[in-house]
Structure 1
Amino acid sequence: MSQQLSRRHFIKMSLATTGTIITENAFNNKAFGQAPGIVISSKRRPQIPYGVMSGDINNNNAVIWSKTNKPAQMIVEYSTNELFRNIRKIIGTIATDKTDFTARLNLLNLPKGQQIFYRVLFQDVTDKNIFSKPEIGTFRTAADNKTNKDILFAWSGDTAGQGWGINPDFGGMKIYEAIRKLKPDFFIHSGDTIYADVPIEAEVKLDNGKVWKNITTPEKSKVAETLKEFRGNYIYNLLDENVCRFNAEVPQLIQWDDHEVRNNWYPGQIFDDKRYQVKDMSLLTKRAKQAFLEYTPIRFDANDPERIYRAFNYGSLLDILMLDERSYRGANSENRQPIASKDTAFLATPQLQWLKQKLLNSKATWKVIASDMPIGLIVPDGKVNFENFANGDGAALGRELEVADLLRFIKQRNIKNVVWLTADVHYAAAHYYDPNKAQFQNFKPFWEFVAGPLNSGTFGPNKLDNTFGPEVKYQSVSAGIKQNQAPSEGLQFFGTVKIGADSKVMTVELYNLDGKKLYSTDLQPEV
């Protein structure tokens, strides 16, 4: 049996019920596409215009996402067989206009170490005999301790930024296809999933005289301010065939950064931007977060449905800790405060305590911290302020105090095999943090790997901050390159992580737009 959903079978299943209404009895007892039906106009049927997604895989659970066009009830059938024998059917929620007709369903207690094939349908709420055509997806659950299975996953960030949108002449957002072909178990999107503050124009003139031609929509033709416009930014990415094919076959763990709302935003920010009629950052953030939660396959926390930082276990080899470095930060500043306070908050105390506890309790060999911003690269915000932890060479100050506190804790508790993955800076790099070369030295050495962008302008390289002793082992761009290069220049990047089931060695590799390997390193686990 194929370990990935075959294109042949995908097409077969997608076409199986075209133009038919399946009765409830037939739906329960017949294989879809084989039940007798009545041919009617497709206008009466719920539609699934943007495919399906899976995400937030956690041990043996997963979230299934989709969107329809009218009030309809989500139904998910799944099986370990790609022909959908021995199926299980789960009835989900009713998609309404309150969520822009998006819906999600949690699949629980799935068999471990198995390829799961699923199909999503929507049942009309006014005529229970009318169903949408099925949309097919697949994912693999984490292996148990008895299953000898390597782990392979990918990560990157930054989609549709700097005005570089979907260009059909270029092949669309084709880096997603390069990642899909590697068949990763899952993908971490490290933030900037959209660029709500960057409109997409129909044409962009390139330095070589050619023209980059974008697909455009009304919602992507201006900065996002209304809920509809924020939703439209997510819909825009789903217009790309590469993205939809990727979504159907690669489950995702998604975090956000700044461009989901506005460049370099922080809570309570006061800004002056003539492009915006809405000047209330709290209102913009509320609308942006609602759209983010509607259009990503995130599992909602029962106690705090809007919390984005969360943890995932992928068997005995891997725990993933996904941070939210945007929602709880203090204002961007010169970032040189000598004492920790609400002004130096980045993760903030509750999230930092959560992270420490998760690291301390982890029984997995490797602990991956998914950070939407790098630690030791300087990211300025204007002439004097800073966007991330780093604030320039020297002792730990400002937001760096949180990093120092965390790194000290990891050393004191002898927590082993912690690796950081990030994006944000629009190039790829490998950094080794060495306490012997640092200004703050009370920590265990560790690695940080950077990837991106997925379909945005290329920038970099950023300056290093020596506070925690980072050393560049690899970077994909050189000093002095032209900034904001188009995706057509090929400088788009993603990374993969492979963990050997037997050796437990972590192999990290960085790739370019075409799936060409640029860098590789093996990390031996500390025992």
Structure 2
Amino acid sequence: MNRFDLAGILSVPAKRRQLLIGAGALTGFAIANQFPRRVIAQPKFSAYPFSLGVASGDPLPNSIVIWTRLAPDPLNGGGMPQQNVSVEWLIAADENLRQIVRRGTVLAAPELGHSVRVDVKGLKPGQWYWYQFRVGSEVSPIGRTRTAPRLGDRLDRFRFAFASCQNWQQGYYTAYKYMATEDLDLVVFLGDYIYEGPPSATALRPHEGTKEPVTLEEYRNRHAQYKSDPNLQAAHAAFPWLVTWDDHEVDNNYADDIPQDPELQSREDLLLRRAAAYQAYYEHMPLQATSMPQGPDMLLYRRFTFGDLAEFNVLDTRQYRTNQPCNDGTKPRCEAVFDPNATLTGAEQEQWLFQGLKQSQSRWNILAQQVMMGQVDRSPGAEQTFPMDQWAGYLVQRNRILRFFQEQQISNPIVITGDIHSNWVSDLKLDFDVPDSPIVGAEFVGTSISSGGDGADSNPTVEAYLPENPWIKFYNSQRGYVRCELSRSRWQSDYRVMSAVTNQDGSISTRASFIVEDGRAGVQSV
């Protein structure tokens, strides 16, 4: 792992440690040239080098990022020599790869785990493309991707799915098999792409290794194990993805540089671990080079616009947050909940969000983020308890965002959320503590791809406190994903749930559908 000035980083206030990278594109070739060595143009591999498949992401009107990683021995560091390897790539306008529109060569460098990303420019807006990589005599699977429509162009329909929380040990990724066959323009992943837990003897399919990952190679191996799933590979190969993280990509419930378990790991240890985890994450995701990490910092929040219909504000609520109040957990509010300086995003990201929302010309303005924004009192009766790791623990900032929606008359604000392994639909109220407070937006929370078994359609504990939260329109804890269709008149979210993920024969169905009408705040059942 590359070393960095830890003492210097620790001397800077946490919220000021954000990595600022210039707008110039840094290609894999440029990265490799920082580490000059012999280039292998015709390598020999111990096994198929494209074992982790292909992916694409961060679509813009004239460009798309395509990705792969050379890993003939994926669970043992990748199995590649410590030398640069020349990789050919092409992108075509047809699935047979006959109408090639761009092609080139990029170097896969050991410093980035022999991962390859190409930010392919000069493409046409709103078009489907197909792409492939080649190294020596080996060729990758063919991936399909799509550029965004031109900013401001009229767009009448847009479809995407969002997902989160894919615990390898606790279920199969069969949901992705079905997602890959959907008619979608985009997939949005909202965090917990990997889980950092040690292998379990009772797991359906145990994690690799012998312990939680801490080093760069250990995080690489964990990502490689997850990426080896054929259903996940199929969904990556079928659509471009927008990705963001939550906590398990590093360590459970960490808050910036504050570990959940300070008695076991120091602040310094967490930052070293975070640097390794962030680099491995970057190596395995189809991200633009502007997200390349610098030590324990990585710029992940970013914005994508699709014609005049939809704009996604992809947030990072983990890297810049202040510590969870009230010693975390689900409990009554303590004084720290009302701290005006408590934040999930940091001040700079919040201002970036506000500026983007204020300037947006899109009909639907989406916050793609990690933890539940809607308020849920989890105790029936007079006592109130709230999850402190969610927006309920950062009350002042949440209310500031909701007030911004109303005061700036943001067009159709929609929040999409992961994290809690269950499905929820909620109106967003200006002030949840005032019963007649106006509705200013909507939130759709998606369940996990796999976690904690198959889940259930209902839960007696949750059903007992739902009456305390009348803005909640739907709850379900089966596994699956959410499919969304946007038009100029309405938004529809279909909750796609699996019959089972503890075996590989699960089927999928639409459990419930909800709409939001253009210009009318509030969720309605279909």
TM over 0.5: yes
Structure 2 match to 1:374: 372
- CA drift at 1:140: 2.2
Structure 1 match to 2:253: 264
How big is each residue's C-alpha offset from its partner over 1:369-389, in whole Å with a ceiling of 9 and x where there is no partner?
011111135699xx9982122
Whole-angstrom distance in 2 between the partners of 1:303 and 1:246: 24
Whole-angstrom distance in 2 between the partners of 1:272 and 1:249: 39
Q: Find out whether 1:415 has 2:414 as its counterpart.
A: no
Whole-angstrom distance in 1 between the partners of 2:261 and 2:441: 40
1:121 aligns with one of 131, 134, 137: 134
Whole-angstrom distance in 1 between the partners of 2:239 and 2:215: 30
Q: Find out whether 1:328 has 2:320 as its counterpart.
A: yes
How big is each residue's C-alpha offset from its partner over 1:170-210, in whole Å with a ceiling of 9 and x where there is no partner?
xx4111112112132111111011111x1233544xxxxxx
Q: CA RMSD in A?
A: 3.3
- CA drift at 1:288: 1.0
Whole-angstrom distance in 1 between the partners of 2:128 and 2:282: 26
Structure 1 match to 2:226: 237
Structure 2 match to 1:85: 98
Structure 1 match to 2:282: 293
Gaps of 5+ in 1: 1-39, 123-129, 166-171, 205-212, 392-398, 478-490
Asked if the contact 2:180–2:238 (Cα under 8 Å) also holds between the matched residues in 1, the reply is: yes
Structure 1 match to 2:494: 509
Q: Please give the residue correspondences for 1:63-74 in structure 2 after superposition, counting only pairs within 5 Å.
A: 63-69=65-71, 70=80, 71-74=84-87
If the length of structure 2 is used for normalisation, what is the TM-score? Answer: 0.75
Whole-angstrom distance in 2 between the partners of 1:453 and 1:324: 19
Letter in 2 for 1:494: Y
1:246 aligns with one of 219, 235, 248: 235
If the length of structure 1 is used for normalisation, what is the TM-score? Answer: 0.75
Q: Please give the residue correspondences for 1:382-461 in structure 2 after superposition, counting only pairs within 5 Å.
A: 386-391=388-393, 399-435=394-430, 438-439=433-434, 444-457=439-452
Gaps of 5+ in 2: 1-41, 72-79, 327-333, 379-384, 499-506, 521-526
Structure 2 match to 1:214: 205
Asked if the contact 1:266–1:331 (Cα under 8 Å) also holds between the matched residues in 2, the reply is: yes
Q: Please give the residue correspondences for 1:145-224 in structure 2 after superposition, counting only pairs within 5 Å.
A: 150-160=157-167, 163-164=169-170, 172-196=172-196, 198-201=197-200, 203-204=202-203, 213-214=204-205, 216-218=207-209, 221-224=210-213
Whole-angstrom distance in 1 between the partners of 2:105 and 2:395: 44
- How many percent identity over aligned positions? 22
Whole-angstrom distance in 2 between the partners of 1:179 and 1:369: 22
Asked if the contact 2:43–2:85 (Cα under 8 Å) also holds between the matched residues in 1, the reply is: no
Whole-angstrom distance in 1 between the partners of 2:318 and 2:292: 20
Asked if the contact 1:78–1:87 (Cα under 8 Å) also holds between the matched residues in 2, the reply is: yes
Structure 2 match to 1:361: 359
- CA drift at 1:109: 3.3
Asked if the contact 1:508–1:520 (Cα under 8 Å) also holds between the matched residues in 2, the reply is: yes
How big is each residue's C-alpha offset from its partner over 1:40-84, in whole Å with a ceiling of 9 and x where there is no partner?
996489822211000111333211110014432333211211222
Asked if the contact 1:187–1:253 (Cα under 8 Å) also holds between the matched residues in 2, the reply is: yes
Structure 2 match to 1:475: 475
Whole-angstrom distance in 2 between the partners of 1:377 and 1:520: 21
Letter in 1 for 2:369: S
Structure 2 match to 1:316: 308
Letter in 1 for 2:275: K
- CA drift at 1:258: 0.8
Structure 2 match to 1:493: 480
Distance 1:400 1:59, change over 3 A: farther
- CA drift at 1:522: 2.1
